[in-house]
Amino acid sequence: MAMLVVITEAVPPRLRGRLAVWLLEIRAGVYVGDVSRRIREMIWEQVEALAEDGNVAMAWASSHESGFEFQTYGENRREPVDHDGLRLVRFLPPQVN
């Protein structure tokens, strides 16, 4: 079991309801819990199936060098990048309309 944090933006109520089954919503769109790897992977499958045009960030405790790992779904100015085995976040320039 490991601590899991899921942050959602502009996702459908159906996904928010599914997340609330396994995790505690401590603020609007912010979910936390202590779940197994299998449950974490099942939650991510729900994110991929139901998030539509929203975006999601999921982070969990691990034995990785940084002490955590994360993955993201959807468009966001923050983009994960691998830098010599360490996952970092790069900021993309704002889109001009």
Q: In what helix (H) or strand (E) does residue 93 lie, and over which residues does it extend? A: none
pLDDT at 37 over 90: yes
pLDDT digits (tens, 9 = 90+) for 14-34: 999 999 999 999 999 999 999
Helix (H, G, I), strand (E, B) or coil at 78: strand
Q: What is the pLDDT of residue 88?
A: 78
Could you tell me which residues are beta bridge partners of residue 4?
Answer: 33, 60
pLDDT surpassing 90 at residue 35: yes
Q: Which two tokens stand for residue 62?
A: 């691990």
In whole angstroms, what is the distance from residue 21 CA to residue 43 CA? Answer: 10
For tokens 């960030």, name the residue.
Answer: 57
Higher pLDDT, 75 or 57: 57
| Architecture, CATH, for domain 2-91 | 2-Layer Sandwich (3.30)
pLDDT digits (tens, 9 = 90+) for 46-59: 999 999 999 999 99
Q: How far apart are the C-alpha atoms of 76 and 28, rounded to whole Å?
A: 18
State whether residue 38 is helix, strand or coil: helix
